[in-house]
């Protein structure tokens, strides 16, 4: 193999495929990136056997071929090279990387050992703007469970109907549901691993572009620009999330999102120990937020608009803070029923996002 | 005590004094900041018993007094408060911090246990612009030794004569010497701990201001704006650094600083293991920089202007990179004698900075 390409293009591609290179693995070949050059293109591939990423750049292909280089080594080298043309050429057992006055010789890894990415039937197609998918991921990913005891909850549900696309993540204590109104020809239900969504979210463009999604029984493929991300899907049935959402509420407050976020964030300073919580006391137009610890006590007073009775209720502060952080809009509303039933947070005037959170029994 | 002050002023002061709060200590009181309010001023003090910092801000003092709060706690609270007026008041065993709708109650620490900063005779005075002292620290601090076996080398020498001020740091392998031409009435020699210089460097302004320095037998005091930094001095005689500097050289090269830095930085990629080195081979107008490791080999070719014979010599790459990073100017020159004698690096046309580095025996 012998190619010439540009430093900036190459480092961008390396940064993309490095997102699928595992940081720890018992299979050393997975620490490598496969470079394949043919017909004017250099294709980079990486995989951790669950998630696979492939991206291509234009290159002057003098001699077609393939090679595998350790991801860290080639990343470190290219990052430090000047913004100029880079030549990559195989030479006996070595790979030579040349750029202006620099010449690196590194040992390649075995091309034969590098696993092939799964091929995916491209029949169940779905198309949506990149920024919308990125936003759906951002507003749900934080609620994905880390607990391997219920593996299905370590992923988020992607549910597609004719009129809308919904993404749902829940961990047993809270749930985030984000909907987008996009017309489609398909009805799809798939549970995508949290890790896949997290890396996909970093690759997606936040202002423009289109992403094509193909789903087979066990696999999903995202295609955008010159990059393809494939991932296995999680097996099993996702929880029927709709039945978790209360149909009614008794008390509703409306307040400024940023003020509420800041008050919870400060109250959480003294609720850092596990099991500690912040207590809401809603009295007429005032919401008192309190927490106690060995270090001391916090009391935050927040103005709210209220419908319904007064209420006392306690929460894990992190569950409020993380949701308020990703919400859009200046105002939010919170619906309560009793001190022991789930509460719902939404941005005012936005029916596309819903967050459910369970209270904790007060100490 | 009862005072009202402004959030931004308060957090700036806390950030300054936190630099002397030890991250680990067997004496819990040192994790606190002393707040002392009197005659329109709030004075914050911290110390780790070697380094002490005192800084004051304007405050509306309603009731004079003192209190000690845990540095982390008060820092976290004030950082998260809105940009508004903050009231701090003692109330029985608690300290109450109020700001808009927020009210924190925290337990104070014992005022009696908080150590007093040493008082320093203000006779041996020295005055210099803040940015110059900051620059002197930046260009020498990296060469201070971390090795407690020779404690004197964990500090930098401050040497003052009538015409100039010199700062010198060395660790047995390399030495940085920075001089400034400033007229003074004093002749001073003091060895300042590296930790003190490092924190002082962060506090000093890089564009304006004056710093007054007072030196007694065991202590040094830096006064700038509303902040005073005191530190013990290291005991013992600093090495006679002047006799380490070679009077002559046989070979001299001149090259672009940035290109040289980048070439060494890339060559160092493959010289990360301890004992590994980068080799310079100077042949006429070309300098070849090479390193080898299990991962592979690097060869960098750099254009230089040379006086004298050809030469081969090897170095710890970090010792070159760290010096080239802090140097000013577009071009540098390096003086060599033999492959086993010290080399000198200087910025071209700048006699105020000199860096000496020992080669390693080539493997």
Cα dist. B50→B138, B171, B221, B231 in Å? 21, 21, 12, 6
Contact: A80, B107; criterion CB under 8 Å = no
Q: How far apart are CA B161 and CA B189, in angstroms?
A: 9
Residue of A nearest to B81 (CA): A266
Q: How far apart are CA A219 and CA A91, in angstroms?
A: 38
Contact: B73, A296; criterion CB under 8 Å = yes
User: Which CATH architecture does the domain made up of B124-243 adopt?
Assistant: Roll (3.10)
pLDDT band per the 50, 70, 90 thresholds, residue A361 = confident
Q: How far from chain centre, in Å, is Cα B51?
A: 13
pLDDT at A286 exceeding the cut of 60: yes
Give the torsion through C-alpha atoms of A46, A48, A52, A53, to 10 deg.
Answer: -40
Provide, rounded to the nearest whole percent, the portion of chain A with pLDDT above 90: 90
Residue of B nearest to A266 (CA): B80
- Averaged confidence pLDDT in chain B: 95
Contact: A300, B265; criterion CB under 8 Å = no
Helix (H) or strand (E) holding B8: helix B7-17
Lowest mean pLDDT: which of A267-271, B32-36, B252-256? A267-271
pLDDT, tens digit, 9 for 90 and up, residues B145-204: 999 999 999 999 999 998 999 999 999 999 999 999 988 888 899 999 999 999 999 999
Distance of residue A258 Cα from the nearest chain B Cα, in angstroms? 11
pLDDT at A363 exceeding the cut of 60: no
Q: What is the DSSP string of B197-249?
A: HHHHHHHS-SSS-EEEEEE-SSEEEEEETTEEEEEEPPPSPPP-GGGGS-S--
Q: Which residues of B touch A102 (CB under 8 A)?
A: 263, 266, 298-301
Average pLDDT, integer, range B110-123? 90
pLDDT score recorded for residue A186: 82
Contact: B296, A263; criterion CB under 8 Å = no
Q: Which residues of A touch B82 (CB under 8 A)?
A: 262
User: Which CATH architecture does the domain made up of B246-357 adopt?
Assistant: Roll (3.10)
Contact: B107, A269; criterion CB under 8 Å = no
- Averaged confidence pLDDT in chain A: 95
Which residues in A have their CB inside 8 Å of a CB on B?
Answer: 70, 73, 76-77, 80-82, 94, 101-107, 262-263, 265-266, 269-270, 295-303
Distance of residue B35 Cα from the nearest chain A Cα, in angstroms? 18
pLDDT score recorded for residue A294: 85
Task: Assign 3-class secondary structure to A156-198.
Answer: EEEEECCCCEEEEEECCCEEEEEEECCCCCCCEEEEEEHHHHH
pLDDT band per the 50, 70, 90 thresholds, residue B362 = low
Average pLDDT, integer, range B92-111? 95
pLDDT score recorded for residue A187: 87
pLDDT, tens digit, 9 for 90 and up, residues A317-349: 999 999 999 999 999 999 999 999 999 999 999
pLDDT, tens digit, 9 for 90 and up, residues B206-224: 999 999 999 998 999 999 9
Residue of B nearest to A100 (CA): B301
Contact: A73, B107; criterion CB under 8 Å = no
pLDDT at A182 exceeding the cut of 60: yes
pLDDT, tens digit, 9 for 90 and up, residues B294-348: 888 999 999 999 999 999 999 999 999 999 999 999 999 999 999 999 999 999 9
Provide, rounded to the nearest whole percent, the portion of chain B with pLDDT above 70: 98
Residue A146 has a CB neighbour count (10 Å cut-off) of 8
Distance of residue B28 Cα from the nearest chain A Cα, in angstroms? 14
The answer, as to whether pTM is greater than 0.90, is yes
Contact: B298, A103; criterion CB under 8 Å = yes
**Where exactly are the structural domains of chain A?**
2-107, 125-240, 245-357
Average pLDDT, integer, range B80-101? 96
Residue of B nearest to A99 (CA): B300
pLDDT band per the 50, 70, 90 thresholds, residue A99 = very high
Q: Which residues of B touch A76 (CB under 8 A)?
A: 269
pLDDT at A75 exceeding the cut of 90: yes
DSSP B118: P
Contact: A102, B296; criterion CB under 8 Å = no
Q: Pick from B106, B296, B302: which is nearest to A104 by CB?
A: B296
Tokens at residue A274, please? 């596990």
SS3 state at B187: coil
Lowest mean pLDDT: which of A87-96, A247-256, B73-82, B267-276? B267-276
Contact: B101, A269; criterion CB under 8 Å = no
Q: Which residues of B touch A268 (CB under 8 A)?
A: none
Lowest mean pLDDT: which of A237-246, A263-272, B236-245? A263-272
> For residue B77, how many C-alpha atoms fall within 13 Å in the half-sphere facing its CB?
28
DSSP B31: G
SS3 state at B100: coil
Which of A295, A300, A303, A304 to mutate: most B Cβ within 10 Å?
A: A295
Is residue A93 within 8 Å of residue A114, measured between CB atoms? no
Q: How far apart are CA A161 and CA B239, in angstroms?
A: 79
Q: Which residues of B touch A296 (CB under 8 A)?
A: 73, 94, 104-107
Is residue B171 within 8 Å of residue B147, measured between CB atoms? yes
Is residue A344 within 8 Å of residue A335, measured between CB atoms? yes
Tokens at residue A176, please? 């985030």
Which CATH homologous superfamily contains domain B2-107?
DNA Polymerase III, subunit A, domain 2 (3.10.150.10)
SS3 state at B180: strand
Residue of A nearest to B258 (CA): A82
pLDDT score recorded for residue A274: 59
Q: Which residues of B touch A300 (CB under 8 A)?
A: 101-103
Please state whether beta strands B311-315 and B305-307 pair in parallel, antiparallel, or not at all (unpaired). unpaired
Contact: B295, A73; criterion CB under 8 Å = yes
What are the residues facing A231 on neighbouring strands?
A: A51, A220
Residue of B nearest to A300 (CA): B102
Contact: B265, A80; criterion CB under 8 Å = yes
User: Which CATH architecture does the domain made up of A245-357 adopt?
Assistant: Roll (3.10)
Q: Which residues of B touch A301 (CB under 8 A)?
A: 101-103
pLDDT band per the 50, 70, 90 thresholds, residue B93 = confident
Residue of B nearest to A69 (CA): B295
Task: Assign 3-class secondary structure to chain A.
Answer: CEEEEEHHHHHHHHHHHHHHCCCCCCCHHHHEEEEEEECCEEEEEEECCCEEEEEEEECEEEECEEEEEEHHHHHHHHHHCCCCEEEEEEECCEEEEEECCEEEEEECECCCCCCCCCCCCCCCEEEEEHHHHHHHHHCCHHHCCCCCCCHHHHEEEEEECCCCEEEEEECCCEEEEEEECCCCCCCEEEEEEHHHHHHHHHHCCCCCCEEEEEECCCEEEEEECCEEEEEECCCCCCCCHHHHCCCCCCEEEEEEHHHHHHHHHHHHHHCCCCCCCEEEEEECCEEEEEEEECCEEEEEEEECEEECCCEEEEECHHHHHHHHHHCCCCEEEEEECCCCCCEEEEECCCCCEEEEECCECCC
Distance of residue B103 Cα from the nearest chain A Cα, in angstroms? 5
Tokens at residue A269, please? 């300073």
Whether the domain at A2-107 and the domain at A125-240 fall into the same CATH topology: yes
Residue of A nearest to B103 (CA): A299
Exposed, middle or buried by CB within 10 Å (0-12, 13-18, 19+), for A93? exposed
pLDDT score recorded for residue A275: 67
> For residue B84, how many C-alpha atoms fall within 13 Å in the half-sphere facing its CB?
10
pLDDT at A362 exceeding the cut of 70: no
pLDDT score recorded for residue B185: 81
Average pLDDT, integer, range A262-290? 90
Q: How far apart are CA B285 and CA B310, in angstroms?
A: 10
Tokens at residue A197, please? 């969504």
pLDDT band per the 50, 70, 90 thresholds, residue A313 = very high
pLDDT score recorded for residue A304: 97
Among A235, A16, A229, A224, smallest CA distance to A117 is for A229
pLDDT, tens digit, 9 for 90 and up, residues A132-165: 999 999 999 999 999 999 999 999 999 999 899 9
Q: Which residues of A touch B107 (CB under 8 A)?
A: 295-296
Is residue B315 within 8 Å of residue B278, measured between CB atoms? yes
User: Which CATH architecture does the domain made up of A125-240 adopt?
Assistant: Roll (3.10)
SS3 state at B130: helix
Angle CA B68–B72–B76, to nearest 5 = 110
Helices (H), B93-211: 130-138, 194-203
Exposed, middle or buried by CB within 10 Å (0-12, 13-18, 19+), for A322? middle
Task: Assign 3-class secondary structure to B47-94.
Answer: ECCCEEEEEEEECEEEECEEEEEEHHHHHHHHHHCCCCEEEEEEECCE
Residue of A nearest to B109 (CA): A295
pLDDT, tens digit, 9 for 90 and up, residues B47-81: 999 999 999 999 999 999 999 999 999 999 999 99
Distance of residue B229 Cα from the nearest chain A Cα, in angstroms? 29
Contact: A301, B101; criterion CB under 8 Å = yes
Q: What is the DSSP string of B276-342?
A: --EEEEEETTEEEEEEEETTEEEEEEEE-EEES--EEEEE-HHHHHHHHHH--SSEEEEEESSTTS-
Q: How far apart are CA A264 and CA A257, in angstroms?
A: 11
Distance of residue B91 Cα from the nearest chain A Cα, in angstroms? 13
pLDDT at B261 exceeding the cut of 90: yes
pLDDT score recorded for residue B271: 80
> How many Cβ pairs closer than 8 A exist between chain A and B?
84
Provide, rounded to the nearest whole percent, the portion of chain B with pLDDT above 90: 90
**Beta-carbon contacts of residue A135 (< 8 Å; ≥ 6 apart):** A178, A206
Contact: A80, B266; criterion CB under 8 Å = yes
Is residue B67 within 8 Å of residue B75, measured between CB atoms? no
Q: Which residue has the tokens 């005991």?
A: B235
Contact: B101, A77; criterion CB under 8 Å = no
């Amino acid at each position: 193999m012998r190619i010439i390409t540009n430093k900036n293009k190459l480092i961008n591609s390396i940064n993309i495929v490095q997102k699928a290179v595992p940081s720890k693995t018992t299979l050393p070949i997975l620490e490598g990136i496969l470079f394949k050059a043919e017909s004017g293109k250099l294709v980079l591939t990486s995989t951790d056997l669950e998630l696979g990423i492939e991206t291509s750049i234009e290159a002057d292909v003098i001699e077609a071929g393939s090679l595998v280089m350790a991801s860290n080594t080639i990343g470190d080298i290219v990052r430090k090279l000047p913004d100029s043309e880079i030549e990559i050429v195989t030479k006996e057992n070595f790979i030579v990387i040349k750029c202006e006055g620099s010449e690196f010789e590194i040992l390649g890894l075995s091309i034969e050992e590098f696993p092939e990415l799964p091929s995916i039937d491209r029949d169940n197609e779905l198309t949506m703007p990149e920024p919308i998918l990125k936003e759906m991921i951002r507003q749900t990913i934080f609620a994905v469970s880390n607990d391997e005891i219920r593996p299905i909850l370590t992923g988020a549900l992607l549910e597609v109907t004719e009129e809308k696309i919904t993404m749902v993540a829940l961990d047993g204590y809270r749930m985030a549901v984000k909907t987008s109104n996009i017309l489609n020809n398909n009805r799809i239900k798939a549970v995508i691993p949290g890790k896949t969504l997290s890396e996909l979210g970093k690759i997606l463009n936040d202002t423009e572009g289109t992403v094509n999604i193909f789903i087979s029984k066990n696999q999903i493929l995202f295609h955008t620009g010159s990059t393809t991300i494939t991932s296995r899907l999680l097996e099993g049935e996702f929880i029927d999330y709709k039945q978790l959402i209360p149909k009614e509420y008794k008390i509703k407050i409306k307040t400024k999102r940023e003020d509420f976020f800041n008050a919870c964030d400060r109250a959480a300073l003294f609720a850092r120990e596990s099991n500690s919580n912040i207590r809401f006391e809603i009295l007429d137009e005032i919401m008192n937020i309190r927490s106690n610890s060995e270090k001391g006590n916090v009391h935050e007073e927040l103005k709210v608009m209220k419908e319904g009775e007064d209420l006392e209720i306690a929460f894990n502060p992190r569950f409020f803070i993380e949701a308020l952080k990703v919400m859009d809009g200046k105002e939010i509303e919170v619906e309560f029923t009793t001190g022991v039933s789930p509460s719902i947070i939404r941005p005012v005037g936005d029916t596309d996002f819903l967050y459910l959170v369970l209270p904790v029994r007060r100490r």
